[in-house]
Amino acid sequence: MASILLGITGGIAAYKSAEIASLMVKAGHSVQTVMTESAFEFIGPATFAALTAKPVVSSLFESTPGYPLGAHIELVEKVDLFCIAPTTANLLAKISHGLADDLLSTLCLTYTGKLLLAPAMNCEMWEKRVVQRNIAQLKEDGYYFVGPEDGWLSCRKTGTGRMAEPATVFKAVTDLLTQQ
Ligand SMILES: Cc1cc2nc3c(=O)[nH]c(=O)nc-3n(C[C@H](O)[C@H](O)[C@H](O)COP(=O)(O)O)c2cc1C
């Protein structure tokens, strides 16, 4: 029974995050979802609020009931694992440089435990040297990764960039939790 922070960024694969949240909840974990503004373009917060039985948090500045010190501080307390699935190229770039301009990226700085990233993007984005540089930096900094996988991409191409399947992400989560 663990406490998991589930981050969702703005990529097509965000629809698969509902399955990841569901697998976590079914395993008995407590899941708090944090979405970026872009993620709302791909899937609605009501889905995650219902699956996790907790309101989704997204804003750094709007006062969130229950978080008088700021959600970026209080949401990381007593969290066993922080998993961001999908992780966009944009978030990879931001966190590899320590940028913190929204709630999710700020949480990446305030959180001190294991952080698992499931990148998902078009194959051209994935192959960009800057993206690979950011990933290499994040690996060196101790971030954990699952995927991406090869296969069919929503841009109607086959290549690398597909988010790891929900069951694979969930297995990576379980493996990291067991290592603790
Ligand atoms: C239809 C559509 C699909 C997208 N899919 C992805 C994706 O799979 N991966 C990615 O890195 N960016 C994708 N993007 C671009 C991101 O949404 C964009 O970079 C956004 O700024 C990400 O914001 P976030 O990282 O704060 O969530 C997509 C954009 C659109 C319009």
Look at ligand 1, atom 19, and give the residue with the nearest C-alpha: 90
Task: Please give the backbone phi and psi of residue 85, each rounded to the nearest 5 degrees, phi first.
Answer: -145, 115
CA angle 106-116-153, nearest 5°? 105
Establish if 74 belongs to a structural domain: yes
91 lines ligand 1 (CB under 6 A): yes
pLDDT of 99? 98
Task: Please give the mean pLDDT across all residues of the chain.
Answer: 95
Establish if 157 belongs to a structural domain: yes
Look at ligand 1, atom 13, and give the residue with the nearest C-alpha: 11
Whether this model's pTM surpasses 0.85: yes
177 lines ligand 1 (CB under 6 A): no
**Cα separation, 115 vs 141, whole angstroms:** 11
Q: How far is the CA of 11 from the centre of ligand 1 (A)?
A: 4
DSSP string across 11-65? SGGGGGHHHHHHHHHHTT-EEEEEE-TGGGGTS-HHHHHHHHTS--B--SSSPPT
pLDDT of 66? 75
Domain count within the chain = 1
Establish if 126 belongs to a structural domain: yes
Q: Which residues of the chain have pLDDT under 70?
A: 63-65, 180
**Cα separation, 115 vs 133, whole angstroms:** 18
Look at ligand 1, atom 1, and give the residue with the nearest C-alpha: 12
Q: Name the residues annotated as catalytic.
A: 155
Distances in Å between the alpha carbon of 37 and those of 2, 47, 55, 62, 163? Answer: 27, 16, 15, 13, 20
pLDDT of 180? 58
Establish if 159 belongs to a structural domain: yes
Establish if 30 belongs to a structural domain: yes
**Cα separation, 73 vs 20, whole angstroms:** 24
103 lines ligand 1 (CB under 6 A): no
Q: Which three-class secondary structure state does DSSP give residue 127?
A: helix
Establish if 86 belongs to a structural domain: yes
pLDDT of 157? 81
Q: How far is the CA of 88 from the centre of ligand 1 (A)?
A: 6
Range of the domain at 109: 12-60+69-167
Which of 9, 16, 14, 12 shows the shortest CA–CA distance to 34? 9
Establish if 53 belongs to a structural domain: yes
CATH of the domain at 55: 3.40.50.1950
8 lines ligand 1 (CB under 6 A): no
Which of 143, 164, 179 shows the shortest CA–CA distance to 20? 164
Establish if 180 belongs to a structural domain: no
